[in-house]
Amino acid sequence: MSLTEITNIALTSVIAIFAVIQGYSVYVQVKIEKKRNEIEVVSEELEKAYGPIHAMLSRPLNKEEKVIELLVNDKLVVDEKLSTYRCMFSPAIIEYWEKNISHLEAHMSNDSLAGAHELIGGHFSVASGMVDVFDIPLEFVEMLNSEYMKIVQKQRELLSS
């Protein structure tokens, strides 16, 4: 073999090794970017969609309770979140809300709910002893909590890996 052939083989080998290293580098960058995007999507779901609704509907319950009273302003927030971020919620949650809750009429309740909500959300205050509320079935709250916990678990897995 001549010196030119040996040089060509050496250069070809070096270029091939460089291409392999460059290809692997691109692969790793794509993987990192994909994970970053997944974390961002999950965080956005929690921050914009599930989190605010979960905060409104999560409160200590008695075993006898079958509904959670939700203030009128809070129901409007839930309506807005479910319509604005529709793609972030499971179809089951959207369907349940539309069939069983969105059309409900408000009724009067004592303001103990408002006081409890003031501690949770810090944005509602009532001067009278009665407020308008909606009865949200616990079945919906359990569906939402289940989805919320799945997303939180997914976020933890993404952040820990």
d(CA 38, CA 10): 42
**Taking a C-beta distance cutoff of 8 angstroms, is the pair 78, 70 a contact?**
yes
Is pLDDT above 70 for 129? no
Q: What order of strands is seen across the sheet that includes strand 107-110? A: 67-71, 130-137, 107-110
pLDDT tens profile 39-88: 999 999 888 888 888 888 887 766 677 888 888 888 999 999 999 999 98
Domains of the chain, residue spans: 3-160
Residue 89: how many other CB atoms lie within 10 Å: 20
**Taking a C-beta distance cutoff of 8 angstroms, is the pair 131, 113 a contact?**
yes
Is pLDDT above 70 for 128? no
Query: Does the pTM of the predicted model rise above 0.75?
Result: no
Is pLDDT above 60 for 113? no
Is pLDDT above 50 for 144? yes
Is pLDDT above 60 for 110? yes
Mean pLDDT, the chain, as a whole number? 84
d(CA 72, CA 102): 12
